Structure 1
Amino acid sequence: MQEHDMTFVRTEMVAAQPAPRGERGIVQWLRKNLFATPVDSVLTVIGLLFVAYTVPPLLRWAFIDAQWTGTDRTFCSTVAQGGIHPDGWSGACWAFVSAKFQQFMYGRYTFTQRWRVDYTAIMFVLLLVPLLIPRAPYKMLNAFLFFIVFPIVAYFLLVGGYFGLTYVPTQLWGGLLVTMVLSFVGIAVSLPLGILLALGRRSSLPVVKMLCVTFIEIVRGVPLVTVLFMASVMLPLFLPTGMTFDRLLRALVGVAMFASAYMAEVIRGGLQAIPKGQYEGADSLGLSYWQKMILIVLPQALKLVIPGIVNTFIGLFKDTSLVYIIGMFDLLGIVRQNFSDAAWASPQTPMSGLLFAGFVFWIFCFGMSRYSIFMERRLDTSHR
């Protein structure tokens, strides 16, 4: 008896079918994400009760009862007209933030010269945005302008004293200007220096390895406040008489050294995650040490530790507020300094100022976090 071949090969793709009715809609989403189990249901109810208890009063304080305009503290006191809460306290004093906004951004930077800060910020954005867009052309030229040319131009533009520009000492700098300068220099210096320290710690040369390990362990073993204090107060004691360095420069060096030590350990974790076969394959191609690291190892290692790198950047950005300890006034420091202004002394002034500073820090940190997620997804090749 002859057997029949029952094999069937489909020549067309099956048309996409709609999801079952029970798997779509807001009800199914709530059931799957918020009420999947009894424990999830209890936690969801507790969360909703907490939101209902805290959010309405916060919104009322921040927006409905808030005082948006005014010239002094009387507009934000409990006896001011409008903005009175039934319990006897007024809403947020955004009038204080509005009145001090220029100082929060520039510090005591010469008023007539603040256009220089604005131009520097515009150049920073115009060079940074195309650098962050993967499809933007001329990446090498863009990186050269951003990391080499821009710092030089920004220095002459902000400090002045050349090309007919008025000299503005760094003692007058403050607010968001100081925060951005410290964080930009710290980030730009800590990444390459951290890579070198990580490579040095894994080096087969005993002297290089010992120096890198010593630097990393000493710097990581002390708080940033100690590093800033040493750079600002103790360092001048070891210099020859009459020799000194600008206070901002000392803070920049301290912040960059501190961040580079943490960055080195993040990079070292990525280097250890690279399989040994990658090193052996590079050696079999006859590549030199630096060719192997730059072309083969580091691109893979850096991709693996993007979250750690960005986490270090975010921590560095927030830690710039510690320069308040050495008499420099970044954004948070200048906000706190203005609490002592008698013209704006009210119960709502400190909370309003701190919330404004916290919101500004959150915007920058959230932006870095989202871009980190974007780059992780773009560079993820495990599911392609």
Structure 2
Amino acid sequence: MTSSPHAPQSVAYVRTEDAPILPPPANTTGLYGWARRNFLDSMTDFSDVGSSVRSVLMILLTAFLLWFGISQIWGLIKFVFIDGIWSNPTGARREACLTQAQGGLLPNDQTVGACWPYVAANAKLFIYGRYPMAELWRPNLVFLLLALGLVWTLWSRMPYRKIGAALMLVVFPMVAFVLLTGADLSAPKAFWYVWPLATAILLGLGWAGGKGMGGEAVKAFSGAFWGLGLFFAYILVFALAATMNWGLNSVTTRDWGGLLVTLVVALTGITASLPLGILLALGRRSTLPAVKILSVAFIEFWRGVPLITVLFMSSVMLPLFLPPGTSFNDLLRALIGVTLFASAYMAEVVRGGLQAIPKGQTEGAQSLGLSFWETTRLIVLPQALTLVIPGIVNTFIGLFKDTTLVSIIGMFDLLGQVSSTFADSSWATPVTRPTGYLVVAAIFFVFCFLMSRYSMSMEKKLRRGHAR
């Protein structure tokens, strides 16, 4: 069908000049625009009664929350800084934080805030516990080495970070153990016969399996023997370092306390639970029935038992299963219990990351000729761990805060050490307890906040490929 030559022809309108730039609407700029965006609905219509009521309620709720937040922050600042007692020129104790009417040195009209002389007097207990004063250079050196090692390992701009990580994982634990305890310990004579022989057998089986021409199963068992052999060799070297005489005075773990115990338990649990959790997650997804059943049983058992029960059992029940006269260090019990407990939760976090990896990643690796373990180590695990960084760090933070439960077995961590000072009548004041708990909360917040911020930066750096 053709159009008639006499039909009117339509001509499309084409703008030859840019449209004029108009100012933004008045209700989106200035104070009114800010209030509308933050306090009111985006579709607020004051001609509608329902919308107006809802907007008024939102304004009142926001104003109340602002008032409540500001009042709480101001109260904390006032208690800590403005009304806090900072000086104690007379060297008094509880009197420095009491008014004259209460038997102290402060004017009756003064509002008493945080008692910082109490914190200064007990600072050594808060950090080191009952560690001998003459030997404090040893934990201080451990703290310094720990800080330098963490900076070297975690800061992306530092050179040779892999070497730093290896030193922190292998050398630092032995150095810290020797410095903190003084070493020169005794080991059963049977250890020196059984352990080197077991190490040699495991390493020999791993070497023989690696030289063999078997399939994937042989390679897997060879890798397992190599791993166990190296672990046994590390324990053997650790035992040699622990039984040598380094010329240091012995300090038992019962004299440890405060922040020292908190860091030892937390760092040991964090360092050991991650690789153990990865192995458990891989075992739970294994096609080998025995490996899968053992992994599932381990994970479900430890996830079904509260940590406080685990620590109680390690302190009270474990000695009942040991030969008579066998002593088991209380701190070592706590370290083992916390590590096993945290590894079960870590395994589920890692398993979530493994399940999030598309099957095409594995198939693509297999098409390139990569074996199962090469695919897992080079393709699957790096992506899975990147996806679950928030869950991993969340487990670390929870573990760090759960170290306060070691007081159930008589270990005085930071919270337990601070709580023990409340029984000291020489510092008994109405503000002593709030001040002590405030110090504990501040220390825990700093450590947990730093872990959280570092994990956010790592997540942002490693997930650039997922950015939109």
- Length-normalised TM-score, structure 1: 0.89
Following TM superposition, by how much is the alpha carbon of 1:81 offset from its aligned partner in structure 2, in angstroms? Answer: 3.8
Residues 1:128 and 2:150 are matched in the alignment: yes
Q: 2:67 aligns with which of 40, 46, 49?
A: 49
- The Cα shift of 1:26 comes to 8.0
SS of residue in 1 equivalent to 2:466: coil
Residue 467 of structure 2: aligned partner: 383
Aligned residue runs from structure 1 range 348-363, under 5 A: 348-363=431-446
**Equivalent residue number for residue 347 of structure 2:** 264
Name the counterpart of 1:9.
none
CA distance in 1, matches of 2:259, 2:25: 53
Alignment partners' CA distance in 2, 1:74 and 1:44 = 43
Q: CA deviation at 1:42?
A: 3.4
Shift of 1:372: 0.9
Shift of 1:226: 0.7
Following superposition, the deviation at residue 82 of structure 1 comes to 3.6
Matches within 5 A, 1:80-119: 80-82=104-106, 90-119=112-141
Change (3 A) 1:240 1:219: same
The one of 310, 334, 358 equivalent to 1:275 is 358
Farther off after superposition, 332-341 or 371-380:
371-380
2:380 counterpart of 1:297: yes
Matched, 1:65 2:149: no
What letter corresponds to residue 47 of structure 1 in structure 2?
A: L
Matches of 1:240 and 1:47, distance apart in 2: 61
Q: How many residues align?
A: 365
Query: What is aligned with 2:220?
Result: none
Determine if contact 1:195/1:264 at 8 Å carries over to the other structure.
yes
Give the Cα–Cα distance (whole angstroms) in 1 for the partners of residues 30 and 127 of structure 2: 44
Give percent identity, aligned residues only.
Answer: 54
Residue number in structure 2 paired with 1:217: 300
Q: Secondary structure at the match of 1:34?
A: helix
The aligned residue for residue 177 of structure 1 is 260
Distance in 2 between the 1:82 and 1:33 partners? Answer: 50
Structure 1 pair 144–83 and aligned structure 2 pair: CA distance change class (3 A): farther
Of 348-357 and 39-48, the range deviating more from structure 2: 39-48
Q: 1:124–1:22: structure 2 CA closer, same or farther, 3 Å change rule?
A: farther
Distance in structure 1 (CA, Å) of the matches to 2:461 and 2:299: 32
Counterpart AA for 1:119: L
**Structure 1 residue 21: Cα displacement:** 11
Does the 8 Å contact 1:200/1:209 carry over to 2? yes
Is 1:318 the counterpart of 2:401 in the alignment? yes
- Offset from partner CA, 1:39-58 (integer Å, 9 cap, x none): 65333211222134333333
Whole-angstrom distance in 1 between the partners of 2:27 and 2:343: 50
Alpha carbons of 1:52 and 1:143: their partners in 2 closer, same or farther (altered >3 Å)? closer
What displacement does 1:23 show?
11
Deviation at 1:28, TM superposition (A): 8.1
Instruction: Report the equivalent of 1:151.
Output: 173
- Tell me the CA shift for residue 201 of structure 1: 0.5
C-alpha spacing 1:244/1:364, structure 2 compared with 1 (3 Å): same
Quick one: distance in 1 between partners of 2:30 and 2:151?
37
Matched, 1:34 2:18: no
- Kindly provide the amino acid, as one letter, of the partner of residue 34 in structure 1: N
Contact 2:401 2:444 in 1 (8 A): yes
Q: Find the aligned partners of 1:29 and 1:94 in 2 and give their Cα distance.
A: 46
In 2, Cα distance between equivalents of 1:28 and 1:127: 52
Would the alpha carbon gap of residues 286 and 40 (structure 1) be closer, same or farther in structure 2, given more than 3 Å must change? Answer: farther
Q: Following TM superposition, by how much is the alpha carbon of 1:65 offset from its aligned partner in structure 2, in angstroms?
A: 1.7
1:311-350 to 2 correspondences below 5 Å: 311-350=394-433
Tell me the equivalent position of 2:182.
160
The amino acid of 1:311's aligned partner reads N
Letter matched to residue 300 of structure 2: E
Q: Which residue of 1 aligns with 2:18?
A: none
- Ranges in structure 1 where 5+ consecutive residues have no aligned partner: 1-16
Instruction: Give the Å deviation of 1:69.
Output: 3.2
Instruction: List gaps (5 residues or longer) in structure 2.
Output: 1-20, 42-54, 184-244
Task: Report deviation, 1:350.
Answer: 0.7
Say yes or no: does 1:75 pair with 2:93: no
- Structure 1 window deviating more from structure 2 (286-295 vs 195-204): it is 286-295
**With CA pairs under 8 Å and 6+ residues apart, which has the higher RCO, 1 or 2?**
1
Give the Cα–Cα distance (whole angstroms) in 2 for the partners of residues 312 and 341 of structure 1: 35
Larger radius of gyration between Structure 1 and Structure 2: 2
2: distance between equivalents of 1:84 and 1:55? 26
* Contact 1:66–1:83, Cα closer than 8 Å, also in 2: no
- Given the alignment, which residue of 152, 161, 165 partners 1:139? 161
Q: Secondary structure at the match of 1:47?
A: helix
Deviation string 1:216-240 (CA, Å, 9 cap, x unpaired) is 1010101101111111211111000
Aligned 8 A contact 1:175 1:334 in 2: yes
Shifted more, 195-204 versus 36-45: the winner is 36-45
Q: Aligned in 2, Cα 1:177/1:29: closer, same or farther, shift over 3 Å?
A: farther
- Do the aligned partners of residues 325 and 23 (structure 1) sit closer, same or farther apart at CA in structure 2, a change above 3 Å counting? farther
Cα distance between partner residues in 2 of 1:26 and 1:185: 54
1:233/1:26 CA distance change after superposition, 3 Å? farther
